[in-house]
Amino acid sequence: MKHLLTTSFLVAAATGAFAQEQGGRLDIVVQPEPPSLMLGLVQNGPTQMVAGHIYESLLRYDTDLQPQPSLAKSWEISEDGLTYTFHLHEGVTWHDGEPFSAEDVVFSADEFLRETHSRLRVSLNYVESITAPDANTVVFQLSEPFGPFINSFEAGTMPIVPKHIYAGTDYANNEMNATPIGTGPFKFEAWEKGSHIHLVKNEDYYLDGKPYLDEVFFRVIPDAASRAVAFETGEADVLPGGSIENWDVARLMEDEDTCSTGEGWEFLAPHSFMWMNNREGPTSDERFRQAVMYAMDREFVRDVVWNGFGKVATGPVSSRTNFYTDDVTDYSHDPDKARALLEEMGYDGEPVRILPLPYGETWQRWAEAVKQNLQEVGIEVEIDSADVAGWNQKTSEWDYDLAFTYLYQYGDPALGTARNYLEDQIEKGSPWNNVEGYRNPELDAKWAEAAVTLGKEERQKLYTEIQQEIVEDAPVAWLLELEFPTLYDCKVQDLVTTAIGVNDGLRDTWIKQ
């Protein structure tokens, strides 16, 4: 890795066996290429990975999901749980040199993101007002207690955007979307489409001595085998989880110079499923959707397609997050039950289209495995592949029958799960919400009650009831709780220091010479 061998000097170490070293370049694979870097408008995984170093929010979260300072240096929550007061770092500037202030936070949360960010909007429904008593203080006043609210302040959930650039504009068509301006440790330098995204050190970052790296290149390498080769030859230093095919992970981990970690996904707990269009066609019948669940051999997919990296999902809530239950309908592989349900509904053989997630060959193989399972029980299937932009468009416009995706859980069902099943989150034009079109007013009321109920035991009771009913309805086809090992050259230090890993951790990363 010749580009790692740069002249460096030591700075005072904070903790640990080594002193952090200033300087150097880091090359990270990003797969696939992000459709945009404007994090307030687009929340694809690749966008979050790159833009999470350009934009920041008020907090970060450690691997135990405890809040840590980011743009906010401290905060208080009132005893009644209604008032959240954040004290901001002083002397923070935007990458274009303009001063950052509490007014940017108010604009971002109360105007920009209320319009553009469907997932955050669920949490903001509990916010009565957002005010800036002074330039370095922001107060969120809630209408009722909402315990999970403290987990709403990471960069992908509440990215703070510059008011002086976006106020009064057409957000989606603002020309600055192509050259994002944030407050983060790295500044946007260049984007050579199909090749790389180049970020450079923010010399005016408000944390003294950080970031340590001079520059970061997010490398776009379309072919999975070539990404693995780039890592082996030292052209890439980091392979984030999911950037190479699963069968290459174990092989690369055998190299003594390769380090790996499964940390950095605690906050996200990626949960894969297929949206099933509840509006029309065979997928509008819950018996057909149940048949799809019984038809799939998810254990085979976990063991063969995902090389054991994952756990079969039992419903909408991950076993790795709060308020999970496995006391739900068991959809273990049972082709006979699938056939019986199809016969009961009078399925006439109308073909359905599967839209794979365009994140590599593993997802294409997964779609082919599902196609085979469904055809074995008499469901005709067509695979309708698309690139990332095409996938975004097709899911946004509800132009699919079954569509692969995965959902981030964000530590609490009220933050990461409910949005995919609430009727008020059905919004054409967004691929980040209730895309399947599921409607259940009684469950909507129960989701709302569970979100504001005080006491873990009572919340567990409500979420157990929700999971039991929704799994019976099968509005989507739950697949796997995904595991994404991150591989990196062992010279790279402190790569994963938060619960979202490489999505916001590079301000702490350094290279050991």
> Is residue 7 predicted with pLDDT exceeding 70?
no
Q: Are the CB atoms for 384 and 401 separated by under 8 Å?
A: no
Q: What is the pLDDT at residue 430?
A: 84
* Residue 400 clears pLDDT 70, i.e. is over it: yes
Residue ranges covered by each domain of the chain: 2-53+184-265+485-511, 59-166, 271-482
pLDDT at 206: 98
Contact 331, 294 (CB under 8 A): yes
> Quick one: pLDDT at residue 391?
93
Give yes or no for residue 463 having a pLDDT over 80.
yes
Which amino acid, one-letter code, is at 155? A
Tens digits of residue pLDDT in 362-372: 999 999 999 99
- Over 80: is that where the pLDDT of 3 sits? no
The whole-number pLDDT of residue 230 equals 97
Distances from the Cα of 291 to the Cαs of 332, 469, 477, 503, in angstroms? 11, 17, 10, 37
- pLDDT given at position 322: 87
pLDDT at 359: 87
Q: Which residues of 389-423 are buried (b: 16+ CB within 10 A; e: fewer)?
A: eebbebbbebebbbbbbbbbbbbbbbbbbbbbbbe
| Residue position matching structure tokens 């992000």 | 34
pLDDT digits (tens, 9 = 90+) for 8-19: 333 333 344 457
The CATH fold assigned to 59-166 is Dipeptide-binding Protein; domain 1 (3.90.76)
| Predicted pLDDT of residue 12 | 36
pLDDT band at 245 (very low <50, low <70, confident <90, very high): confident
Most distant CA pair in the chain: distance in Å? 73
Q: pLDDT: is 377 or 408 the higher one?
A: 377
What confidence tier does 147 reach under pLDDT thresholds 50, 70, 90?
confident
Q: Which CATH architecture group holds 271-482?
A: Roll (3.10)
In this prediction, residue 6 has a pLDDT band, given cuts at 50, 70 and 90, of: very low
- Phi and psi for 237 in degrees, rounded to 5? -100, -25
Task: Indicate the pTM of the whole model.
Answer: 0.80
Assess contact for 420 and 433: CB atoms under 8 A: yes
- Bridge partners of residue 131, in order along the sequence: 139
- pLDDT value at position 18? 55
SS3 content of the chain, % helix, strand, coil (to 5): 30, 20, 50
The CATH class for the domain spanning 2-53+184-265+485-511 reads: alpha beta
State the distance between the two ends of the chain, measured CA to CA, in whole angstroms.
11
DSSP 3-state assignment of 85? Answer: strand
Output the pLDDT for position 411.
Answer: 85
Q: Would the pLDDT of 324 be above 80?
A: yes
Contact by Cβ (8 Å): 194, 33: yes
Does the pLDDT at position 378 exceed 50?
yes
140: Cα separation from own chain's centroid = 24
- What average pLDDT does range 127-143 have in this prediction? 98
412-433 confidence digits (pLDDT tens): 999 889 999 999 999 998 887 8
